Amino acid sequence: MAPLTPHWAQPSHPDVQEVIINAHEFTSKSLSKISLPPFGLFAKMDFPPCTPAPEPTYATVQCGREKHLNLNSDLLYINHSCEPSLIFDTATQNIVAGPNGLRVGEELTFFYPSTEWHMAQPFDCLCGKPTCRGRISGAKDMTRAQLEGVWLNGHIHQLLREQELGPQEPEFEIGSSTRSAPSSSTTAAEDATAQALRDALKHAEKVVEAAKVALTSYLESSATVRGKIGQENASGIGVAHANSAAGLTRRGVTSRELSGEMGGDTIVATGS
C-alpha cells in the first residue's frame, strides 16, 4: 500500500506538532512542541477534519467494533511505539499525554493496538524499547501479557473479552420461557468483566495520583512566588497552599484494599 499523499493544509497542528518528513517510505515522524503533565490534553480528533472511513487502512484509526476514522491531518504522522508518549482515547476523541507526561522535542507516538483490533497493514516494530512487542498486527493477535501495562480503548477490551469467551452456548426452551444453556462461560464472563473493571479502576487511581502530584507542585511553586512578591501578605497564602498540598498526600482507600487483596499497610505507588 503506497504512502498517503497529504490532501490537507499543512501544518495542521503547528502549535503542538513538528512533522519531520523523510524520503524513505513510512519513516516520517513527529516531535512535540509542548510539555504536558501526565494525561494532559495534546489535541482533539475533531470533525472536521476527521471523517468516517468506509474501511480500515494503514491511515485510519479504529474507534469502535466496526468504526474507523480518517484523521485528515498531520496527526497521521504519529508513529507506533510499545512505550508510547500519547494515548488516543477514541471514546472522548481526545489525544492525551501518557502516564509519564510529555516533553518538548519528544517523539509523538501511541500504541497502535490500543485502537486497532486487526490492522490492514501489519509491520515489524523497530521502536527499540525494552518492552518491544515485535510484530504489530493488532490487539487480536497479541497475548494478554503483551497487552499488560498499556492503555487500551473500550472497544478493544470488549473484543478481547469476546475472544477469551469463545462461541456462546445456544439457548433452549424451558416451559414458556427461553433461557441460556448452563455453561462455565457465564462464570468466565463475570470474571472477565470484573477484571476489566479492576483494570479501569486502577487506571483511574493512577490518573488521580498524577493529578495530585501536578497540583501539589503547582501550589508549592505558587506559594514560593507569592512569598517573593509580598512576604507579609503571602505568608498566609503560602501556609494555606502548603496545607492544601499536605492534604493531597493523604491517601484514601484503594480499590485493592476494598477488594481485600491487600492489608492496611498499603502505600501509594510512586511510579507509573
Q: Is the dihedral of CA 110, 113, 114, 118 positive or negative?
A: positive
> Which of 137-146, 197-206, 234-243 is least confident?
234-243
Q: What is the mean pLDDT of residues 110-136?
A: 94
Q: How far is CA 98 from CA 41, 78, 154, 189, 252, in A?
A: 10, 14, 17, 30, 24
> Which of 55-59, 127-131, 161-165, 245-249 is least confident?
245-249
* Single-letter amino acid code for the residue at 167: P
Residue 48's pLDDT is: 85
Residue 268's pLDDT is: 42
Count the alpha carbons within 13 Å of 269 in the hemisphere toward its beta carbon.
11
DSSP SS3 for 77: helix
Q: What is the mean pLDDT of residues 83-98?
A: 97
- At residue 131's C-alpha, the angle toward residues 129 and 136, to 5°, is 90
Q: What is the mean pLDDT of residues 19-26?
A: 82
Instruction: Count CB atoms within 10 A of the CB of residue 268.
Output: 12
> Which of 3-7, 19-23, 228-232 is least confident?
228-232
Query: Would you say residue 2 has pLDDT above 70?
Result: no
Q: What is the mean pLDDT of the chain?
A: 78
Q: What is the mean pLDDT of residues 246-257?
A: 50
User: What is the per-residue pLDDT across 177-221, written as a single tens digit (0 to 9) for each?
Assistant: 444 444 544 455 456 566 666 776 766 777 777 777 777 777 776
Query: Would you say residue 265 has pLDDT above 50?
Result: no
pLDDT band at 263 (very low <50, low <70, confident <90, very high): very low
SS3 content of the chain, % helix, strand, coil (to 5): 35, 15, 50
Kindly state the DSSP code that residue 139 receives in the 8-state scheme.
Answer: G
At 64, list the grid cell: 469502535
Query: Would you say residue 264 has pLDDT above 70?
Result: no
How far is it, in rounded angstroms, from Cα 211 to Cα 213?
5
Q: What is the mean pLDDT of residues 219-237?
A: 59
User: What is the per-residue pLDDT across 143-184, written as a single tens digit (0 to 9) for each?
Assistant: 999 999 999 999 999 999 999 987 665 454 444 444 444 454
Residue 42 backbone dihedrals phi, psi, to 5 degrees: -95, -50
> Which of 15-19, 42-46, 125-129 is least confident?
125-129
How far is it, in rounded angstroms, from Cα 164 to Cα 185?
10
Query: Would you say residue 118 has pLDDT above 90?
Result: yes
**Please, are residues 166 and 154 in contact by the beta-carbon 8 Å criterion?**
no
Q: How far is CA 71 from CA 4, 22, 112, 130, 146, in A?
A: 12, 20, 14, 30, 27
Query: Would you say residue 266 has pLDDT above 90?
Result: no
